[in-house]
Amino acid sequence: AQSVTQPDIHITVSEGASLELRCNYSYGATPYLFWYVQSPGQGLQLLLKYFSGDTLVQGIKGFEAEFKRSQSSFNLRKPSVHWSDAAEYFCAVGGGSYIPTFGRGTSLIVHP
Amino acid sequence: DVKVTQSSRYLVKRTGEKVFLECVQDMDHENMFWYRQDPGLGLRLIYFSYDVKMKEKGDIPEGYSVSREKKERFSLILESASTNQTSMYLCASSQQLTDNQPQHFGDGTRLSIL
């Protein structure tokens, strides 16, 4: 069975600072990995996805994520955070069940 | 762009009522999903459908049923609403039931059961 852990419930950063959100997965084979963002009052929007190939994946809104098989991780990064990035972020893994499993989410708070 | 539309953003119902949540997608997607989102618990899958009239239970189907009579529409039904079903409900669709197809989400329905 596949599973996802997002160790941080809340992350607080200052505007302009760099950001890294952690995601660890458990899956026996090569996983399919996703990051979604949920702005207040809205549904989830896909930021980026990893299927195979280059382990550094570029997404929308200036985000990137790096797949590290040895660490079973898929951390999300952004070099300079904007106030509009304040949102809930979800990591998800797809695998043998074909239905993605979501982490519990990390809430990003941005201080001016 | 894929559009997933949930009929209500906010809904208030009473205990014991039969409640219908409607979801429509406009991209001819095969698969549709209903999730429940609660603080600290993330997204939990209630039901999904991979074809018209086909449905599969997710992780928390108790107290819910679904209907998919047309490809574009997927309804979630609370047969007899209870207060513990107060939550945010998210509908999603995807093109194929394979690993590499991301899901597209609606804006959610915040349901309160009084």
Question: Which three-class secondary structure state does DSSP give residue A69?
Answer: helix
Residue of A nearest to B90 (CA): A43
Interface test with B, best of A102, A106, A107 (most B CBs within 10 A): A102
Interface test with A, best of B93, B96, B99, B105 (most A CBs within 10 A): B99
| pLDDT interval class at A10 (50, 70, 90) | very high
| pLDDT interval class at A49 (50, 70, 90) | very high
The identity of residue A29, as a single letter, is: A
User: Average pLDDT of B70-91?
Assistant: 97
pLDDT at B9 over 90: yes
At which residue do the structure tokens 């708070």 appear?
A109
The identity of residue A58, as a single letter, is: Q
- Signed CA dihedral, A50, A52, A56, A57: sign only: negative
The identity of residue B61, as a single letter, is: P
User: Average pLDDT of A42-55?
Assistant: 90
Which residue among B4, B97, B108 places its CB closest to the CB of A98?
Answer: B97
pLDDT at B99 over 70: no
pLDDT in tens, B52-64: 999 999 999 999 9
Query: Which residues of chain A does B33 touch, with a Cβ-Cβ cutoff of 8 Å?
Result: 99
Q: Among residues B27, B21, B45, which one has the least CA distance to residue B107?
A: B21
Average pLDDT over all residues of chain B: 93
pLDDT in tens, A84-104: 999 999 999 986 666 888 999
Query: Which residues of chain A does B107 touch, with a Cβ-Cβ cutoff of 8 Å?
Result: 41-43
| Tokens coding A72 | 């079973």
pLDDT in tens, A62-80: 999 999 999 999 999 999 9
Cβ pair A105:B99 closer than 8 A = no
Q: Is B107 exposed, middle or buried (0-12, 13-18, 19+ CB in 10 A)?
A: middle
- Phi and psi at B85, nearest 5°, equal -100, 5
- pLDDT at A21 (0 to 100): 98
Cβ neighbours for B39, distance < 8 A, ≥ 6 positions apart: none
Distance CA B35, CA B105 (A): 10
Question: With contact defined as beta carbons under 8 Å apart, do B42 and A103 qualify?
Answer: yes
Distance CA A15, CA A18 (A): 9
- pLDDT at A97 (0 to 100): 61
pLDDT at B69 over 80: yes
Percent share of chain B, pLDDT over 70: 95
Of the candidate ranges A45-49, A93-97, B65-69, the one whose mean pLDDT is the lowest? A93-97
Average pLDDT over all residues of chain A: 92
Q: Does B102 touch chain A (CB under 8 A)?
A: yes
The H-assigned helical ranges of chain B are none
